[in-house]
Amino acid sequence: MPGPDGVSIPQIRDNALDAKEVERLREDFPVLKRRVHDKPLVYLDNAATSQKPQEVIDTITEYYSSYNSNVHRGLHALSERATEAYEGTRGIIRRFLNASEDREIIFVRGTTEGINLVANSYGRAFVGRGDEVIITEMEHHSNIVPWQILCEEKGAELKVVPINDDGELLLDEYEKLLSPRTKLVSITQLSNALGTVNPVKTIIEMAHSRGVPVLVDGAQAVPHGPVDVRKLDCDFYAFSGHKVFGPTGIGVLYGKADLLDSMPPYQGGGDMIRSVTFEKTAYNTLPYKYEAGTPNVAGAIGLGVALEYVSRIGPARIAAYERELLSYATEALSSLEGLRMIGTAREKVGVLSFVMKDVHAHDIGTILDYEGVAIRTGHHCAQPVMKHFGIHATARASLAFYNTREEIDILVKALDKVIEVFH
C-alpha cells in the first residue's frame, strides 16, 4: 500500500497462521516427530521450555565443529569469526526488542539471572533501609526471591499487588502501594501459572509518573507475540532463550543505557574490566561491564538464530494464531465434567492451568503422559498463586505456535481417560 510520498510501506502482517503453515513449520522441529509410550508426542509444556528448530540445533553444532573460539580476546581467524557471530547477535536482539542501542543488550544465563543482576546491582546501590520494592501476587519465584533477599539485607519492604479470583491484577491496589519510598516495580508481562497478560504499559506509566523504574519479566511474553521495549518504556526487560526456541543457558537483560551506567557491576572478573591493578581496577563500558568471564557463546549465537526464525514467521501472526488456539482449547477443556480452569483473566495467552474434581494433578500428569501428552503439574514456581486459589498444584497445558487443534483434541481425549479411570 503506497504511503503519502507514493513509496510502499511494508505492512506488518498480523493475520493468524493457517493450519497448512503450522504443519509446514512443525517439520522444522525434530522433537515433534518423536513418539512417547508408543504414541505421537503432543508437546504442551512450552511454558517450561520450548522445542528447537533444526537450524538452531545446526548453528550450535556448526559453531562447535568449525569456528569454536573464545570471543573478544583473540586476533586469529576463528576468534574473529566467533566474536562477529556473538556480537552480531546483540544486534539481532536489539532489533527484536526494538531497543535503541546494542550496548543495552546484556547476555545473562536466563531471566532468573537477569532479575538477580538488577536486584544485586541496582538494588544494592539504590534500595536502602525503609525503601520499598513492589512485585505482584502472580510472580514466578524468580521474581520474588531475589527481592526478598535484597529487602532482608537492606531493611527494605516488599509490597505485593494482589490478584482477583480471575487471576487479574488489582490496579487500584497497585496505585495505593506506590509511595514516595518505592524504588522499583518488578512485574511479569505474562503469568506462567495463570496465562494472564498484564497491562504493563499502564503499570509503567503509573510508576514513571512517580519517578519509579520498572523491571519487566518477559520470559513468557517473548515467545508469544511482539515485544517493543521502547513502546513499553520499561527500564529493564529480562527473557530466556530456551523459552523462545533457543538453547538453554542463555538469556537477555535489556536496560536503558543511562540506568545501566549508573549502577555498580554485578559479577567481577575478566572482560568486565578495562584495567586491573591491585591498587585500582577500572570497569569496562556497556554492555561488557555486566558480562564477566567467558560467555555462553554457542548459546548466544543459537539464540540469535531462534529470534530470526521467529521474526521471519512474524510475532504478530504467532500471537493471532495462538489466540484462536487458546479459544478453541479453553472451550474444549471447559466442557469437561469436573474440570475447573485456574486463571480466567479477560486478557490471556496460551497457558491453560486447571484442576479436576477428585483427581490430583500428578495423577492427571501421569495418565496424560501415557497418552503421549506432555503437560506440567505442580506449583509452577508460583506457590503464592496456588495459595490464592487454595490448592497445591495445577495441571498446566501451555501452547506454542507449533501446536494444533488436533493436538488439543488428543489432550481432551486423554482427559476423558482420566475421568474414566477415576470415576
Partner 1 sequence: MSDLGDLYQQTVLDHNRKPRNFRRLANANRTAEGYNPICGDIISIDLRMEDGVVKDIGFEGGGCAISRACASMMTDAVKGLTKEEAERLFDDFHDAVTGESDQETDTDKLGKLAILSGVKEFPARVKCASLAWHTLRAAMENRQGTVTTE
Q: Would you call 381 a catalytic residue per the annotation? A: yes
Phi, psi of 334 (to 5 degrees): -65, -20
- On whether the CB atoms of residues 200 and 194 are closer than 8 A, the answer is no
Beta-sheet pairing, 251-255 with 105-108: antiparallel
SS3 of 368-388: the string is: HHHCCEECEEECCCCHHHHHH
C-alpha cell at 267: 559479577
- The correct pick among 14, 80, 363, 409 for binding partner 1 (CB under 8 A) is 363
* Minimum distance from residue 279 beta carbon to partner 1 (Å): 50
151 — phi, psi (to 5°)?
-65, -40
Q: Does 38 bind partner 1 (CB under 8 A)?
A: yes
Q: Which of residues 125-184 bind partner 1 (CB under 8 A)?
A: none
Using the minimum distance from each CB to partner 1, give the nearer residue, 190 or 342.
342
Cβ nearer to partner 1, comparing 238 with 361: 361
How many Å apart are CA 383 and CA 4, to the nearest integer? Answer: 54
Confirm or reject binding of residue 393 to partner 1 (CB under 8 A). Answer: yes
Sequence-ordered list of residues with C-beta below 8 angstroms from that of 130, at least 6 positions apart, any chain: 155, 156, 157, 181
3-state SS class at 184: strand
Cβ–Cβ under 8 Å, residues 370 and 420:
no
Q: Scanning the structure block, which residue is given the C-alpha cell 576463528?
A: 78
Q: Are the C-beta atoms of 99 and 254 separated by less than 8 Å?
A: yes
Choose between 316 and 391: whose C-beta lies nearer to partner 1: 391
Q: How far is the CB of 41 from partner 1 (least distance, A)?
A: 16
Residue 199 or 378 having the CB closest to partner 1: 378
User: How far apart, in whole angstroms, are the C-alpha atoms of residue 326 and residue 120?
Assistant: 37
Task: Give the range of 65-73, 100-108, 182-190, 390-398 binding partner 1 by CB under 8 A.
Answer: 390-398
Q: Kindly tell me which of 124 and 392 has the beta carbon lying closer to partner 1.
A: 392
Extract the C-alpha cell encoding 340: 475447573
User: Least distance to partner 1 from the beta carbon of 43, Å?
Assistant: 18
> Could you tell me which stretch among 67-75, 117-125, 261-269, 372-380 binds partner 1 (CB under 8 A)?
372-380
Among 24, 37, 357, 413, binds partner 1 (CB under 8 A): 37
Segment contacting partner 1 (CB under 8 A): 8-16, 278-286, 343-351, 371-379? 371-379
Q: How far is the CB of 399 from partner 1 (least distance, A)?
A: 23
Q: How far is the CB of 389 from partner 1 (least distance, A)?
A: 12
Is 229 a binding residue for partner 1 by CB under 8 A? The answer is: no
Closest contact distance (angstroms) between CB of 422 and partner 1 is 7
Active-site annotation holder among 381, 383, 392, 405: 381
Nearer to partner 1 among residue 44 and residue 386 (C-beta): 386
100 lies in the binding site for partner 1 (CB under 8 A): no
Residue 366 binding partner 1, by CB under 8 A: yes
Cβ proximity to partner 1: between 250 and 393 the closer is: 393
With CB under 8 A as the contact rule, the residue among 108, 200, 367, 397 that binds partner 1 is: 367
Q: Which residues pair with 64 in a beta bridge?
A: none
| Backbone conformation region of residue 155, classed left if phi is above 0, alpha if psi is from -120 to 50, else beta | left
| Min CB(408)–partner 1 separation in Å | 21
Query: Considering Cα of 258, then 263, then 267, then 273, what sign does the dihedral take?
Result: positive
- Rounded (5°) CA angle 314-91-10: 40
**Subset of 303-362 contacting partner 1 (CB under 8 A):** 359-362
Helix extents (H) in 110-199? 111-126, 145-154, 171-177
Distance CA 351, CA 399 (A): 6
Q: Which residues are catalytic?
A: 381
Q: Which residues bind partner 1 (CB under 8 A)?
A: 37-38, 359-363, 366-367, 370, 377-379, 391-393, 421-422
